Amino acid sequence: MKIYDEKHLKNIVLLGSSKAGKTTLSETMLFEAGIINRRGTVEENATVSDYHAIEHERGNSVYTSLMHTEWRNYKINILDTPGLDDFAGEIISSVRVADTCVYVINSQHGVEVSTELIWNYVDQYKKPTIFAINQLDHPKSDFQSTYENLRSHFGNAVTLMQYPLIEGQDFNCIIDLLKMKMYKFGPQGGKPEKLPIPEAEMERATELHNELVEKAAENDEALMELYFEKGTLDENEMRKGLKIGMLNHDVFPVFALSAKNNMGSGRLMGFIDNVAPSGVDALPETSIDGDLIEKDPKGPVELFVFKTTVEPNLGQMSFFKVESGSIEEGVELTNHQTGQTERLNQLFVIDGHKREMVSKLATGDIGATLKLKNTQTNHTLRGAGAKLAIAPMEFPEPKIRTAVVANNKSDEEKLGEVLHKIACEDPTVVIEYNRELRQLIIGCQGELHLSVVKWYLENLYKLDISYETPRIPYRETIQKPAQSVYRHKKQSGGAGQFAEVHMRIEPWYEGMPEPKDVPVRGVEEIELEWGGKLVFYNCIVGGTIDARFLPSILKGIMEKMQEGPLVGCFVRDVRVMVYDGKMHAVDSNDIAFKIAGMMAFKEAFVNASPRIMEPIQDLEIIVPEALMGEVMTDLQTRRSVIQGIDTKGGYQVIRSKTPLAELDKYSTALRSLTQGRASFTSRFSEFATVPGEIQKQLIDEYQNKLVEA
């Protein structure tokens, strides 16, 4: 394969809603360049992209596919992404390494929900962006309305480059405002005729061309002076201005096309070659410490691993972008995160499921390698002289949680191993065995995301699994002091067991004064791993309990705190004073005092006005203003406390504190309420007391389970 230098490499990511035509466009771009000799279709399951079995079954993209095309001495790497926010991890990683985002817009629907949601990732990285209005051959196509829709959502940076002469089933002509030509396509699309603009369109085209000239000129002072001097700019000068505008996020060019009929894709690729920024044009990468990493073709090697897959029969495949320097096969690099040396024995250019070996990759190029032992997504591989690590991508917190169980107990170990592999491939899948809840928990971005994980477990790994509602990690604590006396006595022949413990417990809070009415002989403060504190006081006088038995009493208390008296959840924020007791010269031992300490703590606890605390989440919901009422009403039914409402663009941002117990399947409910036009984030905030009626219900349920057991 031909080796391209950094000046002739372009990386684009195809973004947009499901069914916008991204996969069809990528197939057409490969065909137009002669990389493939037949265009496959999504319906036939025959595209270079969308090659996974689950994508064939669902009929849309689930994973990002990497491909490349070669157009007029340029290599264009193409990342074809899914169109749903459930697969945010695939989208974020692709946007991160792209030089230009090509936003494919369905001309029937304009700016759709997922278009708006995905834009957040584009805007975060300030990537140069092109809007490609697709499906102009559809009977319901409305180019002008879609263009105006783009302007209303993304502002005056949306810049018209082309428009269709006629749209709908007769679509075959595009007016190009940069070249001031009309492109006329034959029935099979492909290479068009370049014709003069019809006289009936000349006035409109000239007016729009002049607007385009002004837009190009305003991005550079020298071009602006030239524009004032000449009254216009030539094509090369306009390209320069448009490129600067794209880099500054001040110009979003708009193109017209029908990917299905291969009309307009060649002109789009030409613009990507001639105008869209390359990797070395883009802003420098930022290191973990905030320093800039220059994209220096002759500098030390810096690779950023943006995606990891586990391929059947091959093992781990790592996808990377060369951010600095160049690499050849066999190169040895150091993983900044692990300190391990990795040897890249093979370098590949990827086209869907096909791999082609190459000997070298230059700055800005995207490639892959196999079987790196200690490297994962977000890692930096660097050569001699490179001292900085590239700042990692930040992925959204899970929006939905569920417990997963293996229906066959013998599969439990395998299930854990497979889920770990899935989480390595997709950083937005969060796996945790929760010891407190005694459940294996999966966190995902939505119901569809969860269903994809289940599909893989069942179809690829042949695991019979079920999803269950995750338990809530409640906490137990007390509200007033209480005392107890517990005597443990057991005789069973020979040495028996005897211990008596006198105990007082109190609610603990930060900064509370030391106890004044009991003699304090020693104190131990324990930071509990599940949050909060236990403060344990030795207040024994006169040797009524030997000091050697106090650790056993504490151990008994800790055991009961791990399975609280009310609902079996962790206990927190208690201080305990052991102030008296009795022991026996023969029958007292560690186990006796451990049991006595545990039972004394339990008795005191239930008499200390115990309460159950529940986790509260900070919820932030971004919703169109017209749908805010439905969302607010639903939040009130979920015991939410609204913290504030702000405006962000055309959206309202609702902030609330909502109990975790009320958020089961909230992702699905919100999507249903808003037709998918809202998104949310959820983070743990604090623990708060549950209402009395809910506490009684939880205690009754727990006691019933104990009886049934």
Q: Which tens digit of pLDDT belongs to each residue from 228-254?
A: 999 999 999 999 999 999 999 999 999
Percent of the chain with pLDDT over 90: 76
Give the 3-state secondary structure of 641-654.
EEEEEEEECCEEEE
Nearest CA to 608 out of 514, 703, 477 is that of: 477
Q: Which fold has domain 476-609?
A: Ribosomal Protein S5; domain 2 (3.30.230)
Q: How many CB atoms lie within 10 A of CB 683?
A: 9
Instruction: State the span(s) of the chain assigned CATH 3.40.50.300.
Output: 9-198+249-274
Q: What is the mean pLDDT of the chain?
A: 92
- Model confidence over 40-89: pLDDT tens digits? 998 889 999 988 889 898 888 999 999 999 998 899 999 999 998 889 99
The model's pTM:
0.86
- The domain 400-471 is placed in CATH, from the list 1.10.1040.10, 3.30.70.870, 3.40.50.300, 3.40.50.2300, at 3.30.70.870
Per-residue model confidence as pLDDT tens digits over 566-610: 999 999 999 999 999 999 988 899 999 999 999 999 999 999 999
CATH 3.40.50.300 for the 9-198+249-274 domain, yes or no: yes
The average pLDDT across 167-191 equals: 95
The highest-confidence range among 154-168, 289-303, 424-438, by mean pLDDT, is 154-168
Q: What SS3 class is residue 3? A: coil
User: In which residue ranges of the chain is CATH 3.30.70.240 found?
Assistant: 613-694
pLDDT over 90 (residue 668): no
Q: Where in the chain is the domain with CATH 3.30.70.870?
A: 400-471
Overall CATH class of domain 613-694: alpha beta
Pairing of strands 252-256, 400-406: unpaired
H or E, element range at 158: strand 158-160
- Cβ–Cβ under 8 Å, residues 91 and 82: yes
* CATH 2.40.30.10 in the chain, residue ranges: 285-382
Q: Which sign does the torsion angle of CA 338, 344, 345, 346 carry?
A: positive
pLDDT by residue (tens digit) across 372-408?
Answer: 999 999 999 999 888 888 999 999 888 889 999 999 9
SS3 of residue 68 by DSSP? strand
Q: Which class in CATH covers the domain with range 285-382?
A: mainly beta
Average pLDDT over residues 484-499: 87
